[in-house]
Amino acid sequence: MVHLPDMRKGIPVSPGVAIGTAYCIHAIFVNPEKGSVAEGEVASELARYEAARERTAADLLALQDKVAMQVGEREAAIFAMHASILGDSAFTHRIRSWIAHDRMTAPAALSRLLDEYTALFSRTHDEYLKERLHDVQDVVVRLSAHLSDVLKPNSDALEGPLIVVAEELLPSQVVALGNIEVRGIVTQAGSQTSHAAIIARSRGIPAVSGVAGILRQTRSGDTVVVDGRHGHVLINPDAETRSAYRKLEREFFLLRDQWAANRDRPATTLDGVALSLLANINNVQDAQAAAAMGATGVGLFRTEYIYLTHPSVPDEQEQLARYREIVDAAPDRTVTVRTLDIGGDKTVPYLGHHHQEANPFMGWRSIRLSFEHPEFFATQLRAILRAGAYARSRGGQIRVMFPMITTLEELHRVRGMMRRACKQLEARREEYAVVPFGMMLEVPAAAVAIDVLLPAVDFVSIGSNDLVQYLMAADRDNPKVSHLCQPLAPAVLRTLHQVIRACGRANRPVTLCGEMAGQPRAFPLLLGMGLRSFSMSPAFVPSIKDLAAHLDIPRCRDMLAHALQLKTTANVKRFMSEQLKRIAPDLAAMDTA
């Protein structure tokens, strides 16, 4: 690929090439081109702001009551603080003044206010005050959401397929995208396992993350090229460059359509070994995509997206309704549900968002947070158990697994909580099913002690995204060290080989459900290790099924034996790239550089 002067480089996170019109999403969804109102519109803009302010105040009051009831008074206090910020006279006076005297729109005034607070708090070394900036941001986002159709582009200003350009794409923003035709995604922050990356791969959308300064360099309406395999982004390229990339775009879509045609073909290797290709999903749309792409079930349902996209706190009935929808949409009505995996890069205000941690990925998150809120956790467990009965009645099955398990004591504790949830349902005379009990293997300590943990579980799912960053002691979202988070690193391959062999010896089913499962260079090595169950973004199922048909197990074992002798990640990647070009040249287009 020739380097072009106007090319921006980022992290390739979802393969393919896309060309479209830029739609820039700023922190609070303010369109900078729509920042002023006419003199005769000032009164109506003030009224619009007041109406949004009243609705936001009502939201916060309802949230405070609901969180106090479902989680606790201490956790609900954050919303009382947000209400006090909303009601602060200086906060309100500034907004009203800018609308009345500077003729700013209410969203533009909120954007200006947030800029002022950000500049003010950036000068302080007081951690408590810095944390308050997050509270101000939360209030501004709530107000802004009531002021506009979030993320709904102006059809007069933007035409054709869109390239979304953002700091990072949050779950709530993705929901707001609705049915807009998004052709590509570019973000300033993020990594190969960020929200934007996961969402892009689940939809088969080319994407690049970690493009520094892209929001300053791009305006809504610009023509943008996204090369999701090499991590390149071009803004307003010349006609010759556009033509070259349109050819690559057509070739990518043609390949994808060819692979999608094999959706009804069984997933087997060249020598007839049957495989299970499952899907990672966030919502019912992903489950439908999994069925359309030929997956044989859902290997990972990330339930945290129910919480992240909910306006308040989902109760048991709401969660049960979502699980039933997923069961009905999933291939074979088979779903593996992961319990709440909040923390790290995914937070909700009522579960510790206001408690900043120096190392959030290794802190108060996932199962640790669930233990801290047993009644809140019990609500989810009851909903899952009830959904298990529903799946059974529909000829399917639900399995439950728990994230970030580190010790045998944690598994015993979860078992006890499951038994208590069953007793609660029995007391209420609710129908439920005893579901298979599994663990996510993400922590190196669990990998080392896998033989101790296996007797306590029915199955194992390897979460390679977190396992890789913990093994390499490198935050995958930190651009300074994210280059260390390589699934093909020798330490990662050796650890996975040990874990998969241990599961085989103990006769425990094992699935790998990190993004590694859908990477063509990694897939033959995992087959060589003995893995037969893979869970990936729905869009990758057809291409991986095609790759499997080109592979036989003895050859995969030979590739693994050679790869395990290599001493550097670069050598493993080079070796597997060469192998992939020989085995299935077309599939090289589906692996990121």
Every domain of the chain with CATH number 1.10.274.10 lies at: 32-147
Q: Give me the pLDDT at residue 484, please.
A: 87
Residue ranges of alpha helices (H) inside 23-169 are: 42-70, 73-86, 89-102, 106-122, 127-147
The tens digit of pLDDT for each residue in 483-542 reads 888 999 999 999 999 999 999 999 999 999 988 999 999 999 999 999 999 999 888 899
**254-to-248, 257, 447, 586, 587 alpha-carbon distances in Å:** 10, 5, 41, 11, 13
Q: Which residues are catalytic?
A: 195, 513
Count the Cβ atoms, other than its own, within 10 Å of residue 220. Answer: 19
Of 90, 122, 118, 96, residue with least CA distance to 109: 96
Give the integer Cα–Cα distance in Å for 244 and 229. 15
Q: Is 402 helix (H, G, I), strand (E, B) or coil?
A: strand
For residue 183, give Cα distances in angstroms to 12, 194, 529, 582. 15, 18, 36, 31
Question: Are the C-beta atoms of residues 163 and 196 closer than 8 Å to each other?
Answer: no
Query: Can you read off the two tokens belonging to residue 513?
Result: 């459900």
**What three-state secondary structure class fits 7?**
strand
Q: In the predicted model, is pLDDT for residue 448 greater than 80?
A: yes
User: What is the torsion angle, in degrees rounded to the nearest 10, for the CA atoms of residue 333, residue 291, residue 441 and residue 206?
Assistant: -160
| Residue 437: per-residue pLDDT | 97
Radius of gyration of the chain (CA): 25
Of 105-109, 145-149, 254-258, 580-584, highest mean pLDDT: 580-584
Q: Which fold has domain 7-28+152-256?
A: Glucose Oxidase; domain 1 (3.50.30)
Task: Kindly list the distances between the CA atom of residue 293 and the CA atoms of 267, 287, 314, in Å, as whole numbers in the listed order.
Answer: 12, 10, 30
Instruction: Give residue 26's pLDDT.
Output: 64
Please compute the mean of the pLDDT values over residues 260-268 and round it to a whole number.
85
Q: Quick check: 201 and 537 in contact, CB under 8 A?
A: yes
Cβ contact 521:493 at 8 Å: no
| pLDDT, mean over the chain | 85
Residue 31: pLDDT band with limits 50, 70, 90: very low
pLDDT at position 125 = 67
Q: In this predicted structure, what is the pLDDT of residue 260? A: 74
pLDDT band at 352 (very low <50, low <70, confident <90, very high): low
Residue 47, strand partner residues? none
Residues 200, 209 contacting (CB under 8 angstroms): no
Residue 577 has pLDDT above 80, yes or no: yes
Q: What mean pLDDT do residues 30-50 have? A: 75
* Token pair for 184: 């590509």
CB 430 within 8 Å of CB 386 = yes
Highest mean pLDDT among 1-5, 142-146, 455-459: 455-459
Chain-centre distance for alpha carbon 405: 20
178: left (phi over 0), alpha (psi -120 to 50) or beta: left
- The owner of tokens 């009851």 is 382
Enter the pTM of the model: 0.77
8-state DSSP, 18 = E
Could you tell me which CATH number the domain at 269-590 has? 3.20.20.60
> In the structure, what pLDDT confidence band is assigned to residue 155 with cuts at 50, 70 and 90?
very low
* Mean per-residue pLDDT, 2-24: 80
The CATH fold assigned to 32-147 is Enzyme I; Chain A, domain 2 (1.10.274)
Say if CB 514 and CB 462 are below 8 A apart: yes
Residue 18: beta bridge partners?
226
Q: What is the pLDDT of residue 354?
A: 44
Q: Which residues pair with 399 in a beta bridge?
A: 336
pLDDT per position as a tens digit, 413-422? 999 999 999 9
Choose among 401, 521, 529: nearest CA to 463: 401
pLDDT at 564 over 50: yes
Q: Strands, E, within 397-544: which ranges? A: 397-402, 437-441, 459-462, 510-512, 533-536
Please report the pLDDT score of residue 30 as a whole number: 43
234 C-beta neighbours (distance < 10 Å), count: 20
Q: What is the Cα–Cα distance from 28 to 173, expressed in whole angstroms?
A: 10
From 113-117, 148-152, 231-235, the region with the lowest mean pLDDT: 148-152
pLDDT for 1: 44
- Specify the higher pLDDT residue, 271 or 180: 271
Please tell me the distance from the alpha carbon of residue 521 to that of residue 434, in angstroms, as a whole number.
38
Per-residue confidence (pLDDT) for residue 432, from 0 to 100: 97
Ranges in the chain annotated CATH 3.20.20.60: 269-590
